Structure 1
Amino acid sequence: MGVLPGNRVVFDRPGGLRPPVGFVRNFAQPEAVLLRSQTISWAAGLQRGRGVSRTSFATLAFFDAPPGLRRTESAVEGGTMTIEAKKYDDLVGNLEGFSPKQIEQHIKLYQGYVKKINEIRAEMEKIPFGERKDKANFSFGKYSELKRRESVPYNGTYLHEMYFDNLGGSRAKPKADLTRAIEGAFGSQSNWEEDLRACAETATGGWVLLTYDRIDEKLHHNQVWEHSNGIMLNQEHLLALDTWEHAFMIDFGTDKKSYLTAFLANVNWKVVAERLDKATQRARAA
């Protein structure tokens, strides 16, 4: 993946793979870009892949970059991308059961992950490709250690964004499609909540993710330790629950049960329902 001028994200696909035509057609101005040895040529006006060989383009489409992703001057030539922290000031003082200090400190910690992923990638960028093998070693190597830790601040960044994005709701119940999906997987809303609490109890120093499994098309809970250990494949993430102590210690001490009650009272079910809708659309288009 790379970023081109105008804060547009490019998703690379190895040559020979069938392009996600159903994905391209959703864009208002679909285009294609061919990347060959970092030489960029354009094919504008691509409509559902017509007029372009399915094997000749390594990259299928690009679209407006999400707010948290910004382009650096060297991005077009294969340089690093700078991730900017999103703003969550609107949550401070507006989440029932959470003090402003708790949320402010949590946001500050999230900003630290953003800073670290940028630092790690900048350091890796300094190591020429031809020297990386010499700096990689099972016991210790500069490149291998940077690579080993890369997933922690990267996932830490986007898991926190998912968490903050699915907060700020009300006590309104989930929409019909989401309710049916929850009941189809867990039997009832109350069973789902009990399972969430059970997973959160043992996912100390980690996360519980409500996911949509693209294989069995059902919802599941995925326990994650740290930010990267235990993440299951073939999952679309719908709801993120932070179970690290920093998410609740200021307000709740060690009372995780009360934290979970406050969390559930603030879930933005509209956001969760939209994630499910997008997940099922992608699964049908695959």
Structure 2
Amino acid sequence: MALLTKTPYKAREFDLSGLVGISDKTMETHFGLYAGYVKNTNTLNEQLVELTQTGKVGTPAYAEMTRRLGFEYNGMVLHEWYFGNMTKTGNGGEISSSSELGRALGESFGDLETWRKDFVGVGGMRGVGWAVTYLDPASGRLSNHWITLHEDGNIAGFKPIVVMDVWEHAFLLDYKPADRPKYIESFLANLDVSAAEARLGGAERPIG
């Protein structure tokens, strides 16, 4: 089904030069990839609206575009969550056990170190995808999950709190494939804890 937006999505801008362990060249390349997801989401949406208006719902072209839209749209949004939970200030990554996020992680995982080990373990799994700490709004508990191909593995109704891209384009200019753990440590060093806490409290600006 088409998203039926009245205005096209616009690529958001993120000031992330000077990150720890993640080069500006990598971020430049990554922003370009993200812009492609935005462009493809808009193009597919326009095409699906046209097919809907011309009575071609249910055709093979409609079905294929609809499936593809899930990949492109989720690729766009996941990147916005990813870029949005990093900071270049140099004081990222330190989660206080007494903060709202620290308490929530402690209640869900036992302690912060257990969450971190589990998150790193998910991010280090073979294959390309995303490692995400989700909030279950129904129970208030946090859990780590693996997403592959953007649309596969998203947990229905759960809210992303910490989002890490572990597709190879996120680190290959800086690290060898076998050195993915070094990239994961760099991501955690750049984690914008305040952004993650805002998501937990529902205060983040809507994406799109």
CA contact (8 A) 2:10 2:38 kept: yes
CA contact (8 A) 1:80 1:122 kept: no
What residue in structure 1 maps to residue 94 of structure 2?
173
**Identity over the aligned pairs, expressed in percent?**
30
The amino acid that maps onto 2:123 is: A
Cα distance change, pair 134–156 in 1 and its aligned pair in 2 (3 A)? closer
Find the partner of 1:243 among 156, 166, 175.
166
Provide Cα deviations, 1:109-166, integer angstroms capped at 9, x if missing partner. 101100100110111111144623352xxxxx11111001111110111100100010
CA contact (8 A) 2:134 2:160 kept: yes
1:131 is the counterpart of 2:58:
no
Provide Cα deviations, 1:214-247, integer angstroms capped at 9, x if missing partner. 2221001121111010111121111110010110
Cα distance change, pair 121–172 in 1 and its aligned pair in 2 (3 A)? closer
CA contact (8 A) 1:80 1:121 kept: no
Find the partner of 2:201 among 274, 277, 284.
277
What residue in structure 2 maps to residue 35 of structure 1?
none
What residue in structure 1 maps to residue 140 of structure 2?
217
Kindly report which structure 2 residues correspond to 1:43-122, keeping only aligned pairs within 5 A, or say none: 80-88=6-14, 90-92=15-17, 94-122=18-46
Which protein, 1 or 2, shows the higher relative CO under an 8 Å CA cutoff with sep ≥ 6? Answer: 2
What residue in structure 1 maps to residue 69 of structure 2?
150
Return the alpha-carbon distance in structure 2 between the equivalents of residues 128 and 181 of structure 1: 44
Report the RMSD for the aligned CA atoms in angstroms: 1.9
Q: State the shift of 1:172 in Å.
A: 5.8
Secondary structure of residue in 2 paired with 1:228: coil
Cα distance change, pair 98–214 in 1 and its aligned pair in 2 (3 A)? same
Return the alpha-carbon distance in structure 2 between the equivalents of residues 183 and 128 of structure 1: 48
Return the alpha-carbon distance in structure 2 between the equivalents of residues 105 and 269 of structure 1: 24
Return the alpha-carbon distance in structure 2 between the equivalents of residues 172 and 126 of structure 1: 46
CA contact (8 A) 1:203 1:243 kept: no
CA contact (8 A) 1:179 1:189 kept: yes
Return the alpha-carbon distance in structure 1 between the equivalents of residues 140 and 33 of structure 2: 34
Cα distance change, pair 132–269 in 1 and its aligned pair in 2 (3 A)? same
Return the alpha-carbon distance in structure 2 between the equivalents of residues 228 and 98 of structure 1: 26
Cα distance change, pair 233–134 in 1 and its aligned pair in 2 (3 A)? closer
CA contact (8 A) 2:129 2:146 kept: yes
Kindly report which structure 2 residues correspond to 1:182-261, keeping only aligned pairs within 5 A, or say none: 182-202=105-125, 204-254=127-177, 255-261=179-185
CA contact (8 A) 2:93 2:191 kept: no
Greater fraction helix: 2
Return the alpha-carbon distance in structure 1 between the equivalents of residues 162 and 7 of structure 2: 26
CA contact (8 A) 1:208 1:224 kept: yes
Count of matched residue positions in the alignment of Structure 1 and Structure 2: 196
Return the alpha-carbon distance in structure 2 between the equivalents of residues 186 and 113 of structure 1: 34
**TM-score normalised according to structure 1 size:** 0.65
Greater fraction strand: 1
Secondary structure of residue in 2 paired with 1:209: strand
TM superposition outliers: structure 1 runs of 4+ over 2 Å: 78-81, 171-175
